[in-house]
A and B are shown apart, each in its own frame.
Chain A
Amino acid sequence: MTNTSERAIAPQAWVTDKLLMGLSLETYLRRLVTPFNLVAAGILAVGLPLIVYRFAYGLGAVTNLSQATPWGLWIGFDVLAGVSLAAGGYVLASTVYLFGLKQYYPVLRPAVLTGFLGYFFVVVGLMVDLGQPWRIPYPVFYSWGVTSVMFLVAWHVFLYLTVQFLEFCPAVFEWLECRGLRRWAVRLTIGATVFGVVLSTLHQSALGALFLLAPTKLHPLWYSPFIPVYFFVSSIAAGLSMVIVESMLSHRIFHDQFEPERSVDLDGITLGLGKAASVVLFTYFFLKLLGLADGARWDLLATPYGWWYLVEMLGLVLLPCLLFAFGVRHRRVTLVRYTAVLAVVGIVVNRLNVAMVALNWDHPDRYVPSWMEIATTITIITLGVLTFRWIVNRMPVLRSGPAFAEDH
């Protein structure tokens, strides 16, 4: 109660406390001058004008997209890979709340935040790619093309973004010290988690199902009637691996956020996640093998596209699967962490293969992204990282919340 009245009296103190992390404006600004921030500023200085340029002069001025290649890096990486890597939110939320594995709670909030920001910046990336992004609410509010898989994706990303925001709300309200609102947000947790899993199951697989309409364009080794299942199962592996990678980076970068008295067994968590990722990757590998047998195009394995397919399947799915298993069995935490990086790369490569490399594989015009497309993608990633850091530095994401959050 006292907080509320104090805030009303001293908005300046509130700004200092909540936004400037308790520093004076001058100190805060001076502390912003770090090598990391300079690099980030450099990226934004190039990328943000590029985005303006793209909207002023059209997609053709910035991208190498063509009439034969309507989807490029922005769909392949920003949207497809982005959504799969943001799967950690629903994977961890169901682990902790539905399976009741409370020991994973310490990595839940960062996972939910990564998921929420992941989706948010997927939408940002999509808006840069859409011809008329100001019409993005149309499939929800204006014209319903219910026969479209894309319609399902649009609805689900919209709903899931809302759900993930609700899931993250307790941290926001702890930061703002809104006890009552937080209690309401917490009550929504189970409903939001269940709804989040349902939405994720459907739209993760739907992103794969988009390509069902391209049987003559997607290379036969990647085209499969099971592609929705592939996208869903691999998103679980991507989510688990991203949580490992993200917690590894967070512990290095935000070490001041971890209170020594609150002992977190991150190694144990990493090994547990690695074990799960190994099982999921093996399932994924086996399903892909079934699809390969079903398609019966073994002959294509001996072509350049076949070799690339084998690199993906053996080097970026089976290898991380085995390394995870080995690392967990011998409790080699560092190995598990680097394997997670490899697994993440593997899923990204898969999405890029489906959307860019193996699509239009026999078309004479091959698409290669322009430097401006790559710079825009890097800009959006940078914005995501900066937002993540801004939130982690202020809200109880890695550290525990204020005392009232603990009252069980």
Chain B
Amino acid sequence: MNLTRRTFFKVAGVTGAGLVATPNEARAATVAAPGGAAMLVDTTRCAGCRACEAACAEANDLGPPAEVSSLEIRRSTDQRTFTVVNAYQPPDGGDARFIKTQCNHCVDPSCASACLVKALEKTAAGPVVYHPDRCMGCRYCMVACPFDAPKYEYDRAIPYVRKCEFCADRQARGEAPACASVCPTGALQFGTRAELLEEARTRIYQNPDTYVHDIYGEHEVGGTSWLYLADVPFDRLGLPDDVGTRRYPELTWPFLSAVPLVLTLWPPFLMGLYAFTRTREQSEASMHEGAAPAETETHHD
């Protein structure tokens, strides 16, 4: 019995070290600095030329983008297309609106919090990057992402997750992301999140009749590094309006914080239960036999 208990606590200690101590530290590290890189997408300026798509495909070596008219088909990103421009026709007629979509590079991303091997990581610089050498292909990031940004190479025998990485390598060299560097209309503006929020607010303030008085991505899912301005409600441009303003990792946080509690409270409770049971059995046995409980070790089977 002594040996069993000792063994048990030894094992519990080992796993406790792995499962209790670390989440707090790691969580702090996933939240990016407010000055990180960001992109302002002003959909009122987008002409739908799709130069960004071509530049993205070239920069990421994805092959030429699909030869389709963006007006005709509603497309989504996939494992070989990290960004798409879609057209939305207003219901009351009028000009089509164009919107570029890609990974929004959340400030506190759901995908990174969901990844059990840290293959997805929010860097302090701003981009949410992917480490293909760690990914085991569970695809939980795809379930967790409210924008469906991560895509999977189902057609490969050795598949990886693919998505926009905000041209983190170009940013590290001091260059703007490929898409922003080719945008002819100024619909894409690259900068820090703080300064782009100022810029967006200024545009709304100076053109109050043009813009919706809201910046998509300022508060959505706790903030994203890609920010959108529009002159029609955002959900009409296909941006989800049901994602809320909570940081997604907060959704699992109550559960994860209960884990240490269960790990520390369950064992003594269960051991106590066992002790009661054993005492009861021994007293019953001694009553039946009218003798002291046996000194020999009990076999638990």
Contacts and interface: CB of A to CB of B under 8 A. Distances in A.
Interface in A208-228: 209-217, 225, 228
B199 interface: no
A328 B76 CA distance: 55
Contact of B300 (A148, A150, A189, A206): A189
B255 A206 contact: yes
Contacts of A193: 270
Interface string A182-213: 00001111110111011001100110011111
A135 interface: yes
B154 A188 contact: no
Nearest to A132: B137
Nearest to B272: A98
How many A residues are at the interface, by size bracket? Answer: 35 or more
A100 interface: yes
Interface stretch (B52-60, B165-173, B181-189, B260-268): B260-268
A39 interface: no
B15 A131 contact: no
Contacts of B138: 130-131, 150
Contacts of A405: 301
A132 B270 contact: no
Interface residues of B, number: 78
A197 to B, nearest CB: 6
B113 A194 contact: no
Interface string B238-282: 001011100011011011100100110011001101100110110
B11 interface: yes
Contacts of B300: 97, 186-187, 189-190
B252 A213 contact: yes
Contacts of A215: 146, 244, 251
Chain A binding surface, main DSSP class = helix
Contact of B154 (A60, A201, A210): A60
Interface in B138-172: 138-140, 142-144, 146, 148, 151-160
A209 B118 contact: no
B96 interface: no
A63 interface: yes
A70 B26 contact: no
Given A67-B148, A70-B143, A145-B118, A131 B274 contact: no
B117 interface: yes
Across the A-B interface, give the 8 residue pairs with the lowest CB-CB distance, nearest first: A131-B137, A60-B154, A100-B277, A191-B8, A70-B139, A70-B142, A135-B136, A189-B300
A152 B30 contact: no
A105 B148 CA distance: 49
Nearest to B263: A198
Interface string A338-362: 0000000000000000000001000
A373 to B, nearest CB: 13
A198 B262 contact: yes
Contacts of A148: 113-116, 140
Given A139-B117, A198-B262, A408-B298, A212 B22 contact: no
A138 B136 contact: yes
A197 B134 contact: no
A145 B121 CA distance: 10
Contacts of B206: none
A67 B76 contact: yes
Interface centre among B110, B114, B148, B240 (most CB of A within 10 A): B114
B5 interface: yes
Contacts of B118: 143-145
A268 interface: no
B268 to A, nearest CB: 9
B4 A216 contact: no
A71 interface: yes
A59 interface: yes
Contacts of B144: 213-214
Given A58-B156, A58-B157, A210-B140, A194 B271 contact: yes
Contacts of B281: 100
Contacts of A130: 136-138
Contacts of A408: 298-299
Interface string A242-261: 00000000000000000000
A40 interface: no
Interface string A106-150: 000000000000000000000000111101101100111111111
Nearest to A57: B157
A137 to B, nearest CB: 9
Interface string A71-100: 100000000000000000000001001111
Given A142-B134, A154-B116, A68 B148 contact: yes
Nearest to B11: A195
A56 interface: yes
A105 B300 CA distance: 10
B73 interface: no
Contacts of A201: 262, 266
B78 interface: yes
Contact of B117 (A142, A198, A202, A225): A142
B291 interface: no
Interface string B94-117: 000000000000000010111111
A212 B140 CA distance: 12
Nearest to A105: B301
B135 interface: yes
B12 interface: yes
A14 interface: no
Interface centre among A133, A139, A154, A191 (most CB of B within 10 A): A191
Nearest to A199: B15
A40 to B, nearest CB: 29
B73 to A, nearest CB: 13
B286 to A, nearest CB: 15
A209 B154 contact: no
Contacts of B259: 152, 202
